[in-house]
């Protein structure tokens, strides 16, 4: 079968012929209906250097995946061939205090994790191939309510990551509060909907691209603000001078972090979700009083089940552009050029 492979750091991926995976005991092979093209993959291709992460190439790209059970190994029960499933992406040891709660994104037993902090498409073979080996059945979440794998795939990362970020700030988002989403791409367009579906906050979307701002208002944002110098002032004016209670920075550049700090409210949260590589100087007067600044990495498996439930109920819609596997490189090109609306999803297999 063909697979889109990253063969070295700082290189373009190649479409290569690889062996079809066969499940060992406890393992499952998934026929991949959708594999999302994540902005992080561009960092894997262009920015990371040998030694920066505890794992590395070669591996097949694609860390947000959904499809159908294709084959199960000995001892796997409850998963039948043909069943639609989402793949929980971060694969930990399965046994440490974090993993037993389903938070394998923060596995503490890195020596026992197959790829510390990684998973399929991040150190091990991912979903940009017709078949994907999932090393343990616990990583699969059955798709509820007839969800299409093309729609579900982005929910496993572009949905789960902002869902986790919003969920941990729920207590700061009562009626009367305001949340800001900076960057309305794959993650941001889902962040807007997650805020709408799970909180009473007013939602402000910020982006440089007019089409991304229209997408945000179409999805329920109360205000769309062009990312320019006046943005912090516009947000402050909209909040009656108070500032935003929660800012989700889905970009993470110097400029967006500066904006996040400038438009935040004392006691608020600024959560860095995007891998833009920016930094934010922290000192006594640099931030609103008691603003918490935090990063997040992905989310837990129970949270993925919650995201899928929101989508199955029609409360979350993934805006997607699909690409056949042969055109996956084009998906990444369009992503890098900022030409995509929503998420690019590669579709290696059909039902």
- Residues of this chain, 92-151, that bind ligand FEH according to CB under 6 A: 122
Residues 6 or more apart in contact with residue 110 via CB below 8 angstroms = 54, 93, 116, 117
Choice from 238, 298, 323, 332 touching ligand FEH (CB under 6 A): 298
- Residues of this chain, 152-181, that bind ligand FEH according to CB under 6 A: 157, 161
Choice from 40, 239, 271, 319 touching ligand FEH (CB under 6 A): 40
* Token code pair at residue 149: 């794998």
Integer Cα distance of 173 and 225 in angstroms: 20
CB 157 to ligand FEH: min, Å: 5
Q: Residues 157, 121: contact at Cβ < 8 Å? A: no
Provide the mask over 151-190, with x wherever binding to Zn ion is found by CB under 5 A and - wherever it is not: ------x---------------------------------
Indicate the helix (H) or strand (E) that contains 330. Answer: helix 328-336
CB 275 to ligand FEH: min, Å: 6
CB 38 to ligand FEH: min, Å: 5
CA angle (161 as vertex; 124, 215 as ends), nearest 5: 120
Integer Cα distance of 62 and 38 in angstroms: 8
The site partner of 298 among ligand FEH, Zn ion, none (C-beta below 5 to 8 Å per kind) is ligand FEH
Integer Cα distance of 331 and 345 in angstroms: 8
CB 300 to Zn ion: min, Å: 12
Provide the mask over 106-145, with x wherever binding to Zn ion is found by CB under 5 A and - wherever it is not: -x-x------------------------------------
CB burial readout 212-226, b (16+ within 10 A) else e: bbbbbeebebbbbbe
58 upstream amide cis, omega within 30 of 0:
yes
The reply on whether position 93 binds Zn ion by CB under 5 A is yes
* Partners of 140 in beta bridges: 87
CB 239 to ligand FEH: min, Å: 29
Integer Cα distance of 195 and 185 in angstroms: 15
Q: Report the residue closest to ligand FEH, judged by CB.
A: 40
**Near Zn ion by CB under 5 A, which window of 35-43, 76-84, 252-260, 262-270?**
35-43
**Residue ranges in contact with Zn ion by CB under 5 A:** 38, 40, 92-93, 96, 99, 107, 109, 157
**Residue ranges in contact with ligand FEH by CB under 6 A:** 38, 40, 122, 157, 161, 275, 298
């Amino acid at each position: 079968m063909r697979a889109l492979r990253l063969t070295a750091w700082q290189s373009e991926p190649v479409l290569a012929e690889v062996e079809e995976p066969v499940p060992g005991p406890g393992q499952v092979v998934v026929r991949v209906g959708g594999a999302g093209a994540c902005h992080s993959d561009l960092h894997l291709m262009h920015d990371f250097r040998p030694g920066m992460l505890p794992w590395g190439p070669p591996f097949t790209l694609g860390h947000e995946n959904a499809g159908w059970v294709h084959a199960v190994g000995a001892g796997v029960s409850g998963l039948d061939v043909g069943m639609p499933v989402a793949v929980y992406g971060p694969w930990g040891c399965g046994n440490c205090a974090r993993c037993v709660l389903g938070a394998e994104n923060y596995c503490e037993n890195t020596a026992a994790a197959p790829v510390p902090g990684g998973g399929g498409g991040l150190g091990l073979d991912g979903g940009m191939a017709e078949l994907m080996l999932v090393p343990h059945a616990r990583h699969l979440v059955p798709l509820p309510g007839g969800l299409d794998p093309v729609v579900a795939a982005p929910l496993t990362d572009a949905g789960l990551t902002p869902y986790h970020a919003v969920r941990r700030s729920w207590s700061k988002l009562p009626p009367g509060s305001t949340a800001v989403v900076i960057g309305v791409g794959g993650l941001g367009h889902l962040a807007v909907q997650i805020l709408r579906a799970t909180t009473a906050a007013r939602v402000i979307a910020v982006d440089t691209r007019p089409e991304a701002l229209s997408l945000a208002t179409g999805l329920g944002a109360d205000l769309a603000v062009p990312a320019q110098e006046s943005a912090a002032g516009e947000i402050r004016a909209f909040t009656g001078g108070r500032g935003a209670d929660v800012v989700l920075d889905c970009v993470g550049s110097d400029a967006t972090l500066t904006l996040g700090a400038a438009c935040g409210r004392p006691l608020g949260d600024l959560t860095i979700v995007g891998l833009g590589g920016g930094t934010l100087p922290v000192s006594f007067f640099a931030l609103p009083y008691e603003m918490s600044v935090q990063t997040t990495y992905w989310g837990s498996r129970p949270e993925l089940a919650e995201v899928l439930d929101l989508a199955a109920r029609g409360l979350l819609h993934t805006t997607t552009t699909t690409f056949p596997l042969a055109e996956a490189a084009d998906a990444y090109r369009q992503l890098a050029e900022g030409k995509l609306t929503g998420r690019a999803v590669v579709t290696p297999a059909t039902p």
